[in-house]
């Protein structure tokens, strides 16, 4: 199994940390992982993206042209990454702020109302966990327990009291993910 | 015990420095390697192992602290990125001239000049041909993963002390910033002062005891005959290193008609290209020099007899390709594909370049 | 040779100096400054526990004369080397021996930052207002209107800047504990300078901070004078600009 994922959105949406939790979850179940951010000034306020690869085998290129899954959280990222999803792959996106919805016919498309759900949970910061939940529902490449373990590993201990809240967010993301187009 | 962590390449190098029993780190912030100093300061190794960590006032000061520190026989390292490494070249030349063991990490970014902060491999010439003034080489080892970032810091110290030469870990912004699974090696004890004196007291500034002459660390010798003799001694050492310390990796080369030669991040990308090429039925392999100096000359020369063509892939305008051509010596075509200025080639681009030249 | 008996011995070259013939010009203050530094270390029983750092300048070969473990630095960087040596050997005495071009021009940053960090080292600073080794060029400490090979009509302050009182400058840094300015051209001055050097080694070793001893010296060759004239010129011109005496004692500036 090899899953190649791009997560893209605005800086501050938790794009990088979502990727990190996913990567840690992979390690928890003894898989190979790589987490390759686009770093630099663009991280500060502008767009942010990270390539996450989880595999049973040694990972070769950490930089890719096409992905099994694109998780897209703003319009700029939609413009840039819709075309990079492999035929038959998955595009998961939050429709909030998207004016031009994806139009490809050869991929699976799902929506997650992450921002709205995080607002309903009264915790804006769990946005990325809602989205992560949606992804895991569609592609359960890592087990839920390992995600919680990964969360513990990637959060400093002083934030561990927030783990139940994140767990709730992941579960609600799993529930509310909406199918737009299934091949 | 196996200890697994998800770490950035920069963090893994910092942790490896602590674990291999380094005595001191001296450095100055520069993107994309500032995590090395940040990690060390957060980790407080002076509490864990007694290791000294100091933020210097400049890269010039860092490398000269390294020069002072290495003279004591202790294990010292610094890290920087391209423009900072350029500033350090004078000091590195002194370290080489004075035959001091130490480790310098270069997390390469786009150049020339201030360039940018994105990954690059355009410091190959500087790293492998000396870099500063005078006839010298560094041992240069290039990781292509976070795991190797950790392992090669340890390896670099081993070689540095074995031959009393400065060693360079040549990483790049991608490996430095990327997170991967790392299996950390176990903490090695720092040598005690007595052990340092026992191991290095014959040459290091450990304090003159009545039973020996004073030790002097210098790269100066105003007598040309003596300085030439010193150069011959250095060259003999380099020859020995070239004979004993070459490391490379071959992937799917045995049955290959064509070989990509690439190191570091370029090798990772090219490995994917090899996979794509094999799916298309091309007999393509990857050869990854791990030590860039000493360069795997003999292996490359052998390809001149056994392969039909070579594609060198670098994140530069073509530097290592010169060493490949030198050793192929015109026997088969050697083509080049590179991106520079912080651009990272994709596996598809490399495949297209391969098809253009050879298919 | 009946006279050579231990009870008759009044003076002996310190064993902390090698037998190598000094490379300095006759009349130069370096030899005396070397000797008293080494005498202090011998008297303190510190030979085995001292690492010295030589600069680039006339005293580039100091390690050939000082019979202790030493390292030769790149131009201006001695305080950076000494920083690392002291931090890695905290139980040793560590000092640099630098000239004015080395310490106050090319090495200004290293000097100021080592002082500012309060490294527990000694800096011995020989100020003769000129680049001696390279043949008498203008130094940061060259006096106004003073001639040198790169200020042949005299130092024009409007064009070339002012002589740098680096010692007063670093005395203001909290990391610096003891700062003094001395001379070695007359026996009385030599005795005082030696006392100051001893104090500097003791106090830096006691982790009180960086201790800085400037020695205003002559350069008869570079100044193109006889040794006696050079000493007189130094008293008449250098001392008014660089007055002798303690500048900072026990961490307090001397009023």
Chain B residues 42-61 with CB within 8 Å of chain A: none
Q: Is B223 on the interface with C (CB under 8 A)?
A: no
Instruction: Answer yes or no: is pLDDT of B1 > 70.
Output: no
The answer to whether residue B212 is domain-embedded is no
The C-alpha atoms of residue A115 and residue A125 are separated, in whole angstroms, by 9
Average pLDDT over residues C177-188: 97
A41 has pLDDT over 90: no
| B292/C contact by beta carbon, under 8 A | no
Cα(B104)–Cα(C189) distance, integer angstroms: 46
Residue A125 near residue A14, CB atoms below 8 Å: yes
Gap between the terminal Cα atoms of chain A: 21
Tokens read off for C238: 């250098």
CA dihedral A24, A29, A31, A36 (to 10 degrees): -10
Residue B45 lies inside a defined structural domain of this protein: yes
* Res A132 pLDDT > 60: yes
Provide the pLDDT for residue C130.
Answer: 95
* Alpha carbon distance A90, A181 (integer Å): 10
Site of tokens 């130490």: B102
> What average pLDDT does the segment C112-128 reach?
98
Which residues form the domain of B316?
A: 249-358
Is B71–C81 a contact, with Cβ atoms under 8 angstroms apart?
yes
For residues B253 and B175, state if they share a domain.
no
A43 has pLDDT over 80: no
User: Which whole-number Å values give the CA distances from B302 to B264, B313, B324, in the listed order?
Assistant: 22, 19, 11
Per residue in C144-169, pLDDT (tens digit) is 999 999 999 999 999 999 999 999 99
Chain B residues within 8 A of A64 when measuring between CB atoms:
272, 346-347
Q: Is residue B214 part of a domain?
A: no
- Please give the share of chain A, as a percent, with pLDDT higher than 90: 75
Cβ–Cβ gap C84/B76 under 8 Å: yes
Choose the mutation target among A61, A142, A152, A156 for the interface with B, i.e. most B CBs under 10 Å.
A61
User: B72, B88, B93: best mutation site toward chain C, by most C Cβ within 10 Å?
Assistant: B72
- In tens, the pLDDT along B268-288 reads 999 999 999 999 999 999 999
Per the prediction, chain C carries an average pLDDT of: 96
If asked whether residues B35 and B177 sit together in one domain, one would say yes
CB neighbourhood size of C161 (10 A): 12
Q: Which residue of B has its CA nearest to C62?
A: B216
Look at B181 and A60 and tell me if their CB atoms are within 8 Å. no
Whole-angstrom CA distances from B291 to B143, B244, B264, B294 are: 9, 11, 10, 6
Q: Which residues of A touch B179 (CB under 8 A)?
A: 20, 23, 33-36
Distance CA C245, CA C181 (A): 5
Q: CA B69, CA A130: separation in Å to the nearest integer?
A: 51
CATH of the domain at B94: 3.40.50.970
Domains of chain C by range and CATH? 24-253 (3.40.50.970)
- Tokens 């070459």 correspond to B246
- Looking from the CA of C159 toward its CB, the CA atoms found within 13 Å total 8
Q: Count Cβ–Cβ pairs < 8 Å, chain A vs chain B.
A: 74
The total number of structural domains in chain B stands at: 2
User: A139-148, B103-112, B134-143: lowest mean pLDDT where?
Assistant: A139-148
Instruction: Extract the tokens encoding A87.
Output: 């035929």
Which residues in chain B have their CB less than 8 angstroms from residue A60's CB? 268-269, 271-272, 275
Residue A119 burial (CB < 10 Å; 0-12/13-18/19+)? middle
Residue B110 within a domain:
yes
B66 touches chain C (CB under 8 A): yes
Same domain (yes/no): B296, B178: no
Residue finishing a domain among B164, B184, B204: B184
pLDDT band of residue C1 (cuts 50, 70, 90) is: low
Q: Please report where in the chains the tokens 């790049």 appear, as a residue.
A: B172
Mean pLDDT lowest among A33-47, C68-82, C132-146, C165-179: A33-47
Residue numbers of B between 148 and 207 with CB closer than 8 Å to A? 173-174, 177-181
Cα–Cα distances (Å) from B166 to B103, B147, B169, B213, B296, in that order, read 6, 22, 10, 25, 19
Which CATH number goes with the domain that contains A141? 3.40.920.10
The two counts, helices (H) then strands (E), for chain A are 6, 7
- A21: which 2 tokens? 């939790």
CA distance B24 to B17: 9
Q: Does A97 have pLDDT greater than 90?
A: no
Q: Give yes or no: residues B178 and B286 share one domain.
A: no
Under the banding of pLDDT at 50, 70 and 90, the label for residue A157 is: confident
B239: which residues sit within 8 A by CB, 6+ positions away? none
Q: Spell out which residues of chain B touch residue C84, defining contact as CB-CB under 8 Å.
A: 24, 26, 52, 54, 64-69, 72, 76
Nearest to B64 by CA among B46, B50, B49, B78: B78
Residue B3 has pLDDT above 90, yes or no: no
Q: What's the structural domain count of chain A?
A: 1
For residue A125, the enclosing domain spans 2-181
Report the CATH number that the domain containing residue B323 is assigned in CATH: 3.40.50.920
B276 vs A: CB within 8 A: no
- pLDDT of A40: 60
| Secondary structure class of B2 (helix, strand, coil) | coil
- What is the token pair recorded at A71? 């998780």
Q: For chain B, how big is the Rg over CA atoms in Å?
A: 21
pLDDT of residue B143: 98
Residue A107: band (very low, low, confident or very high) from pLDDT cuts 50, 70, 90: very high
- Report how far residue B133's alpha carbon sits from residue B124's, in angstroms, rounded to the nearest whole number: 16
Helix segments in C44-186, DSSP class H: 62-65, 78-88, 100-101, 108-116, 157-160, 166-171
CA B32/CA B107 separation, integer angstroms: 7
CB < 8 Å from B in window 231-250 of C:
none
β-pairing, C69-72 vs B216-217, is: parallel
All chains having 3 or more CB pairs closer than 8 angstroms to chain C: B
pLDDT at A10: 86
What tens digit of pLDDT does each residue of A158-172 get?
988 889 999 999 999
Structural contact between residues B121 and B172, judged by C-beta atoms closer than 8 angstroms: yes
**B309: in domain:** yes
For residue C89, give both structure tokens. 């050997």
The beta-strand segments (E) located in B81-173 are 102-108, 139-141, 166-172
pLDDT reported for residue A11: 79
**Per-residue pLDDT, B40:** 97
Instruction: Taking the CA atoms of B311, B315, B320 and B321 in sequence, report the sign of the dihedral they define.
Output: positive
| ipTM, interface predicted TM-score of the complex | 0.91
Does B92 contact C at CB distance below 8 Å? no
Measured between alpha carbons, how far is B94 from C76 in angstroms, rounded to an integer? Answer: 14
pLDDT exceeds 80 at position B2: no
Test B181 with A36 for CB contact under 8 angstroms.
no
Whether B214 contacts chain C with CB within 8 A: yes
Residues of chain A neighbouring B180 (CB-CB closer than 8 A):
32-35, 59, 62
Q: What does the block give as tokens for C5?
A: 């008996």
pLDDT for residue A12: 80
Outline where A32-162 has alpha helix (H). 75-81, 114-120, 127-138, 144-154
pLDDT tens, B195-230?
A: 999 999 999 999 999 999 999 999 999 999 999 999
Residue B241 lies in a domain: no
| pLDDT tens-digit map of C71-87 | 999 999 999 999 999 99
Do residue B7 and residue B108 come from a single domain?
Answer: yes
Q: Do C67 and B214 touch (CB under 8 A)?
A: yes
Write the DSSP assignment of B148-194 as a string of letters. HHHHHHHHHHHHHHHHT-EEEEEEEHHHHH-EEEEEEPPPPPPPPHH
| Domain final position from B138, B156, B184 | B184
Structure tokens at B246: 């070459």
- Domain end: B156, B184, B212, which one? B184
Residue C2: the pLDDT is 73
Q: Which of B24, B67, B207 sits opposite C88 (nearest CB)?
A: B24
Asked if the structure places residue B51 within a domain, the reply is: yes
Question: What is the CB neighbour count within 10 angstroms for residue B314?
Answer: 27
Nearest to C83 among B65, B94, B215 (CB): B65
Is the pLDDT at A44 greater than 80? The verdict is: no
Do the chains contact at A34 and B179, CB–CB below 8 Å? yes
**CA neighbor of C85 nearest in space, from B215, B106, B11:** B215
pLDDT of A124? 84
């Amino acid at each position: 199994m090899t899953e190649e994922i791009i997560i893209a959105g605005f800086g501050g949406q938790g794009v990088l940390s979502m990727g990190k939790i996913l990567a840690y979850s992979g390690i928890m179940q003894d898989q190979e992982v790589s987490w390759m951010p686009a770093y630099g000034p663009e991280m500060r306020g502008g767009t942010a993206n990270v390539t996450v690869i989880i595999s049973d085998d040694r990972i070769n290129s950490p930089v890719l042209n096409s992905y099994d899954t694109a998780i897209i959280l703003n319009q700029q990222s939609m413009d840039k990454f819709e075309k990079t999803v492999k035929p038959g792959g998955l595009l998961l996106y939050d429709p909030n702020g998207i004016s031009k919805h994806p139009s490809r016919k050869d991929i699976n498309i799902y929506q997650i109302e992450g921002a709205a759900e995080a607002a309903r949970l009264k915790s804006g910061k769990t946005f990325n966990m809602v989205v992560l939940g949606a992804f895991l529902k569609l592609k359960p490449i890592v087990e839920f327990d390992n995600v919680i373990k990964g969360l513990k590993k990637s959060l400093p201990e002083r934030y561990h009291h927030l783990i139940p809240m994140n767990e709730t967010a992941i579960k609600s993301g799993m529930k509310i993910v909406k199918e737009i187009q299934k091949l | 015990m196996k200890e697994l962590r998800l770490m950035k390449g920069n963090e893994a190098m910092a942790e490896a420095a602590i674990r291999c029993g380094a005595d001191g780190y001296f450095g100055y912030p520069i993107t994309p390697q500032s995590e090395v100093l940040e990690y060390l300061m957060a980790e407080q190794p002076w509490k864990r192992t007694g290791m000294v960590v100091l933020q210097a006032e400049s890269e010039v000061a860092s490398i000269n602290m390294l020069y002072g520190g290495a003279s004591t026989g202790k294990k010292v390292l610094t890290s920087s990125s391209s423009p900072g490494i350029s500033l350090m070249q004078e000091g590195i030349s002194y370290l080489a001239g004075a035959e001091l063991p130490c480790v310098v990490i270069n997390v390469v970014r786009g150049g020339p000049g201030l360039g940018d902060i994105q990954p690059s491999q355009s410091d190959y010439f500087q790293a492998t041909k000396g870099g500063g003034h005078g006839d010298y080489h560094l041992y240069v080892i290039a990781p292509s993963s976070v795991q190797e970032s950790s392992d090669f810091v340890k390896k670099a110290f081993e070689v540095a002390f074995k031959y009393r030469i400065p060693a360079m870990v040549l990483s790049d912004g991608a490996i430095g910033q990327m997170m991967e699974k790392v299996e950390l090696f176990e903490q090695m004890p720092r040598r005690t002062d007595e052990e340092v004196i026992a191991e290095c007291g014959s040459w290091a500034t450990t304090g003159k005891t009545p039973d020996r002459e004073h030790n002097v660390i210098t790269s100066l010798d105003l007598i040309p005959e003596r300085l030439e003799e010193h150069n011959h001694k250095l060259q003999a050492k380099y020859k020995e290193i070239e004979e004993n310390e070459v490391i490379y990796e071959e992937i799917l080369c045995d049955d290959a008609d064509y070989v990509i030669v690439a190191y570091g991040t370029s090798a990772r990308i090219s490995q994917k290209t090899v996979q794509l090429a094999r799916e298309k039925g091309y007999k393509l392999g990857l050869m990854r020099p791990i030590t860039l100096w000493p360069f795997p000359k003999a292996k490359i020369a052998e390809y001149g007899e056994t392969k039909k063509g070579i594609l060198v892939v670098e994140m530069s305008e073509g530097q290592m390709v010169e060493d490949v051509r030198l050793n192929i010596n015109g026997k088969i075509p050697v083509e080049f594909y590179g991106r520079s200025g912080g651009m990272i080639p994709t596996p598809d681009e490399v495949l297209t370049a391969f098809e253009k030249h050879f298919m | 040779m009946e006279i050579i008996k231990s009870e008759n011995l009044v003076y002996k070259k310190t064993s902390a100096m090698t037998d190598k013939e000094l490379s300095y010009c006759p009349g130069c203050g370096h030899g005396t400054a070397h000797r008293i530094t080494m005498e202090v270390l011998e008297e303190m029983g510190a030979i085995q526990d001292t690492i010295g750092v030589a600069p680039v300048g006339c005293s580039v070969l100091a390690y050939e004369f000082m019979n202790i473990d030493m390292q030769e630095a790149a131009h201006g960087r001695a305080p950076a080397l000494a920083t690392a040596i002291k931090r890695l050997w905290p139980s040793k005495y560590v000092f640099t021996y630098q000239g004015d071009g080395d310490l106050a021009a090319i090495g200004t940053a290293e000097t100021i930052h080592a002082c500012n960090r309060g490294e527990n080292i000694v800096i011995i600073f020989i100020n003769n207002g000129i680049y001696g080794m390279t043949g008498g060029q203008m130094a940061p400490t060259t006096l106004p209107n003073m001639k040198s090979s790169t200020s042949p009509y005299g130092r024009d302050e409007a064009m070339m800047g002012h002589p740098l009182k680096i010692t007063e400058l670093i005395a203001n840094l909290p990391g610096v504990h003891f700062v003094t300015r001395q001379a070695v051209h007359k026996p009385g001055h030599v005795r005082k300078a030696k006392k100051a050097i001893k104090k500097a080694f003791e106090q830096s070793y006691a982790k009180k901070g960086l201790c800085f001893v400037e020695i205003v010296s002559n350069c008869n060759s570079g100044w193109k004078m006889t040794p006696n004239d050079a000493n007189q010129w130094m008293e008449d011109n250098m001392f008014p600009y660089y007055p002798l005496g303690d500048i900072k004692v026990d961490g307090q500036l001397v009023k």
